[in-house]
Structures are given as C-alpha cells and as structure tokens.
Structure 1
Amino acid sequence: MRADRLLSLLLLLQNRGRLTAPELARELEVSVRTVYRDIEALSASGVPVLADRGPSGGYRLLDGYRTRLTGLTGDEAGSLLLAALPQAAAELGLGAELAAAQLKLQAALPDGPGEHARRVRERFHLDAPAWFRAGDPVPHLGTIAEAVWRQRRLWLRYRSWSGEARRTADPLGLVLKGGIWYLVATGERGIRTYRVGRVLACETAEETFERPADFDLAAAWRESARAMEAGRIRGEARLRLSPRGLRLLPAKFGALGERAVDGAGPADAEGWVTVTLAVESLEVAVHDLLGLGLEAEVLGPDDLRAALGELIRRLAARYPDGGSTPVHLTADP
C-alpha cells in the first residue's frame, strides 16, 4: 500500500539521513520515478523534505524533525523475533514486514539508543547457515508457516529415507537448524519432526486443531535432536591420530569429532594420540575416515579396519600407475 511505502520512505530519511533517489528506490524496491512522486506527496502533506543539489546531494529531513508515527502491525511485531535472521524472515514471507519493523523500531528510539542500535547493525552480522552447504529448497515453507500460525491441519506428501509417504500433521512449530528448516508436528504417531525440504506436496485443511497446552517447542526440539543423533550412532572407532589429524577431526565429524578430541589420550613420542570416535554404520564410517588420509590409523574394531583396508586396496587397483610420479598432497590446516 502507498501509505505504508510513504511511511517507510519517511523513516528511512529519519534514520539514515541524506539519501539519493536511486538509494531510496533500491530500499523500497520501486522505480526512481515512484520515489520522486512519493517525495512530492510527503512534502504536500507537510513533511519538511529538503533536496540538496550536487554530486553529494540527495533528500533529507529538516534538522530536528522527527515523526512518531511508528506503530507496529501484528506481522511486523512478530517478524522482530527474526531480526537477526533476515534470510529466514524472507523464506517465511516476512522480509518486507521485518524491514518495516526495524525502521519503525529505530525511529521510536531516542537519539542515544537509536545511534547505538545503528552502530550494532553496522558492526555485527549473524549468518546462520552452515559452511559449504546450501539450504534445502523449501517451496512449501510459506504454506506450512501459515498453518503453524493459524493452527490448521496439514496433509503432507513426504519423502523419508524409506520412500514417499502421506501424513496428516498438526503443525506445532518450525525450527531453523544450520540453515535447514524442520517442522515439529503431532499426528497419529505422536510428536514427530519433518525436514521441510523433503515435503513434496502439502495442503492446508479447513479444520483447525487444539494446540497442547503444555507443549514447549524448544524442549521438543532438544528431545528430537537428541533422538536423531542417538539413532544414527551405531558404534565406536578407535583411532590413532597425528597432530594434524587431531585438528582435522572436528572439521570432518562436527560435534562427534569434538567429543572425541576432548577425550583424547596422552601423546606418544611422535605426537600421535588415541581417541574413541562415535560412528554411524560401517559403510558410512569407512568413507568418512578415508577423508583423514595418512593423518589417522584405525585401530579397531577389526571389521572397520578390515573394510577400510579393502577399500584402500580397491582404490590402489583402480590407480595402478599412482606410484610412478611423486604427488605431494597437502592436508587441510
């Protein structure tokens, strides 16, 4: 709506000072011509907008002028919970509301706290997604989020590890973990967690559901995360690691690697240490441990050591000329 845009333009000038027409157009996602029309409308309504000419010119408000028209809408107030996660807000369809809410909040602050908030925004940034991994495509996230908010039942077509399945779910909450969205919902099988990127189709039912009075989303997520982690662990590997291998372990295995490093034994004369690493299935562990290269030796269990040795022999057979030319490989720091 034009009224919302005019207020946003006014708050931009109030919070940031002098801005050019192209800069305002980028912030408001409109054309420069539209900015010119909006500036004229503000001036006609009595707002003292000044135009400075020249290379360093632009539009600004008369010194000392401040508006107090900063009331937040419901959606804008809710979006402030995602103020540190602008990409998440955009995925939920709240990007515009978050931008407007931040402008209004900053405008409502006195000069001292307002300046402090601006400096914090300029100097600190939270980037939630994990390194080297793009988030899932989540085409149904908006529909799911709307159902969570309005307590509407969902019909899902979901791709799990065992194949496609249809589920009826009462959506209780959404969780963003490492750049991946998860839905916590209840249904015929009790409270379950669904990876939103694996939802192939979803439809919102007309019927609503009663949210459990004692449900705690944070507590439910902690329990789900604990169960998921425990469910994928199938055993332990005893490893002998070089100093470089000890540094690599957390990078390769995340929290499991960190725990193994914390429990490392004393270093031997060569600086190598022995650790115990929780691992998934034999097949997964073999390929994961191969990534440590010459910086690790598997001491046990015997079947893991044998499987790793067999894989190495097969790789050597695939590259029979590998020893003819010296190759110097540098491991990760």
Structure 2
Amino acid sequence: MRADRLMAILLLLQHREQVTAAEVARELEISERTARRDLDALGMAGVPVYSVRGRSGGWRLVGGARTDLSGLTASEARALFLVAGPALSVTSIGKAALRKLVHALPEPFRVPATAAASSLVVDPERWGWSRVECRPPRFLDELQDAVIRGVQVRLGYVDRERRETERTVHPLGIVAKGPARYLVASTEAGRRTFRIDRVSSVDATGDPVHRPDDFDLAESWRAMADEVERQRTPLEVRAVCAPYGIGVLRMGFGDRLEVGGATTDGRIEVVIRGNDEYILAGELAGLVAWVEVTGPPGVRDHLASIGNALVERYGSD
C-alpha cells in the first residue's frame, strides 16, 4: 500500500468521527475495494481503527476522531513514520500533514517518529550511466536503527576493488536509489556515501552522532549524486530539441539530461552528459527528427560521419 495514501486515510479518520469505504474512495479517487483493503491494512499495521457494521456503519479510530494514536507501540509508530516520511516530505502540504501526525502521537513517541520520518530519502531514478546490481543489504536494519537513534557505528566496508576497511562513521540517513541502498554519513574525511550491500559489519558504539544543525538529507544526497554524475559523465553536449521530443530524451537519457529554456524559434535548450563523444553521437543519431546538436564540434563531426555511413549503406542506388 502506498504510504501517501495510508497517511491520507489516517488524516481523514482523525478529522471525521467516522468514514465509509465509499467516502474514502471518493476523497482519494480510488476504488471502494482498494479503500476497504487499505482500511484493513491500517488495522493490521497496528493503527487503532475498527469497523462499525450496519447501514449507518463505517470506520472509526479508537478513542474518537481526535485520538492521540495511543494504540500504536513505539516500534509501530517508528515503522509507520519510516514509511510515511519519504512520501509526505516532498511537498509543503505533506510536511504539514506529517507534523500533525507527529503531534497526534503520545509524547514519548514523537522524537523517534520524527527521526524515522527524516531518516530515509527515496530517489526512484537509476544512475544514468549504469544499472547497479545489488545484493540484498544485510545490515540495512542496523544502519537504519543507528540513524534513528543517532549513534555512531564502526563500519566494515568492502570497496569496488574488494579492499576491506573499517572506520567509525556518523550515520545521517539512508537513500534508496533504484535498487541500491546507500548510507550517508560523516567521516573524518568529510561526508561520504556507502553502498549498504558492500557493508561487511556494523557495530554501534553508543556515542552520539554529530549532526549539523542545517543538515537536510534530500539536499545533501542531491548534491552528492550530482557530483557523482558530473565525475562519471564529464562531457556535455549542447543541443536544441523540439518540444514534443523532450519526453523521448527523458526516457533515453534520464538523469543525464538537463532541460533549459525555450529559444526564439520555440525549441528547448538541453544539455546531455556522457563520457565519450562517439558514443554520445551514436545515442543521438536516431533523434535527428527532434534534436539539433550545437556543440561540441567533435560530436557534430561524429554525427556527420555516422550519417554518411548510414547513407552509404542504406541509401538508394
């Protein structure tokens, strides 16, 4: 069940004395069957919700519409906000909803619930330059717990050259990017990311994490991911694209595409990153109906060569 839908249903239950599956379906633009399944799932997850049978029945929260969600255990509250945080924190409305839900919790649960909500960022895009193959991360739960509790860990790690090291790090957050999971942490060498499937051991020290006051996990990850992309794809191709071709470019290049403003003739300025002029020219050769490459000259030369080769092989006699 999608976390944003779960949170929306929970807010409806808090706001109203009682809701029906039909009302939930209408509010969230889903089917009644999906609404009933979501309401049942809330109860199974530990949210104190129950159904009232009969013609005037529906669904209610235990204790009334303004319940403090005291039916949740500490671990259930943390699990709920671990799922809900990434879904709700992307918009100002979602953040406001998250704050209301935190205040609806019993006082002892609020700090760990807030930490859980901000401990995970979901980046659904795969890396534009490769498809990362990952093993199931053995130590994901331990690292997530260290982030939420704010404790340092001794981390065993195997790098891409298969060298194993151990270091003490300050866990700041977990990022899910495509199939991969990353730990964002402060180290003696500065802020670093670690592929969690390469972590070989985790030992919590009990010492508190030194977390910068202005740290924002989403912003920090975005900056680090952009830097990784720039290092791996240092070549930038400048081009203009017909507006109806932008969708094709997004599908083909993903994070390697930057879309700019419109030109005087209505086309859109774009920048496409890569690491080899000939390979980029090959990727762009089939998009000539939408895209005109303006630079660098080497890519234009390769495109011309590819075009001549195509004409020579497939042109009519």
Q: TM-score band (shorter)? A: 0.5 to 0.7
Paired position in structure 1 for 2:238: 238
Distance 2:271 2:140 in 1: 36
Aligned with residue 215 of structure 2, among 204, 214, 217: 217
Superposed CA offset, 1:217-254 (max 9, x none): 31643542453344345243233534533564455445
- For 1:52-88, what per-residue CA distance to the aligned partner results, in whole angstroms no more than 9, with x for missing partners? 6xxx899988xx978968425443444436425479x
Give 1:145 shift.
0.9
- Structure 2 residue aligned with 1:144: 143
Residue 314 of structure 1 deviates from its aligned partner by: 6.8
**Structure 1 residue 306 displacement after superposition:** 3.2
Extract unaligned runs of 5+ from structure 1: 1-10, 31-41, 43-48, 88-101, 107-127, 325-333
Structure 2 CA distance for aligned equivalents of residues 220 and 60 of structure 1: 41
Q: Does the 8 Å contact 1:239/1:275 carry over to 2?
A: yes
Aligned to 1:292: 287
* Residue in structure 2 matched with residue 183 of structure 1 by the alignment: 183
1:279 equivalent among 248, 263, 273: 273
Percent of pairs identical after alignment? Answer: 22
Give the alignment partner of residue 302 of structure 2, picking from 291, 298, 307. 307
Opposite residue 182 of structure 1, the aligned amino acid is: Y
Residue 97 of structure 2 corresponds to which residue in structure 1? none
Counterpart of 1:5 in structure 2 is none
Structure number with larger C-alpha Rg: 1
Superposed counterparts of 1:241-280, under 5 Å:
241-245=241-245, 248-253=248-253, 257-259=257-259, 261-262=260-261, 264-267=262-265, 273=267, 275=269, 277-280=271-274
* Aligned equivalents of 2:68, 2:264: Cα separation in 1: 65
Q: TM-score, normalised by structure 1?
A: 0.51
1:295 maps to amino acid: W
5+ residue gaps, structure 2, are 1-12, 22-35, 89-100, 106-121
2: CA distance, partners of 1:303 / 1:184:
38
User: SS of 1:164's equivalent?
Assistant: coil
Partner Cα distance (2:68, 2:176) in 1: 36
Counterpart CA distance in 2 for 1:275 and 1:208 is 51
Question: Aligned partner of 2:200: which letter?
Answer: C
Aligned residues: 250
Conserved 8 A contact 2:236-2:271: yes
**Contact preservation (8 Å) 1:172, 1:217:** no
Instruction: State the shift of 1:171 in Å.
Output: 4.0
The residue number in structure 1 matching 2:96 is none
Q: Is the 8 A contact 1:184 1:193 kept in 2?
A: yes
Amino acid paired to 1:148: V
* Greater mean deviation of Cα atoms: 67-76 or 166-175: 67-76
User: Given the alignment, which residue of 179, 192, 204 partners 2:202?
Assistant: 204
> How far off its partner does 1:192 sit?
0.6
- For 1:178 and 1:242, locate their aligned partners in 2 and report how far apart those are by CA, in whole Å: 30
Structure 1 segment 99-138 matched on structure 2, within 5 A:
105=104, 130=124, 138=137
Q: Distance in 2 between matches of 1:295 and 1:60?
A: 53
Of structures 1 and 2, the one with the larger relative CO (CA 8 A, separation 6+) is 2
Matches of 1:187 and 1:247, distance apart in 2? 40
Distance 2:284 2:77 in 1: 48
Contact 1:251-1:257 within 8 A present in 2 as well: no
How far apart in 1 are the matches of 2:224 and 2:126? 25
Contact 2:182 2:194 in 1 (8 A): yes
Q: Distance in 2 between matches of 1:210 and 1:51?
A: 50
Q: How far apart in 1 are the matches of 2:176 and 2:228?
A: 13
Cα displacement string for residues 148-196 of structure 1 (whole angstroms, at most 9, x for unaligned residues): 2342424343454xx3343435142224466564311133532212344
Note closer, same or farther for the CA distance 1:156–1:323 as it changes in structure 2 (3 Å cut).
Answer: farther
Partner-residue secondary structure (3-state), 2:289: helix
| Shift of residue 284, structure 1, vs aligned partner | 5.4
Cα–Cα, structure 1 residues 170 and 315, in superposed 2: closer, same or farther, change >3 Å? farther
- CA deviations on 1:95-123 (whole Å, 9 max, x unpaired) are xxxxxxx7x959xxxxxxxxxxxxxxxxx
1-side partners of 2:201 and 2:139: how far apart? 9
2:143–2:171 Cα contact (<8 Å) kept: no
CA distance in 2, matches of 1:60, 1:243: 48
CA RMSD of aligned residues (A): 5.4
1: distance between equivalents of 2:86 and 2:212?
Answer: 27
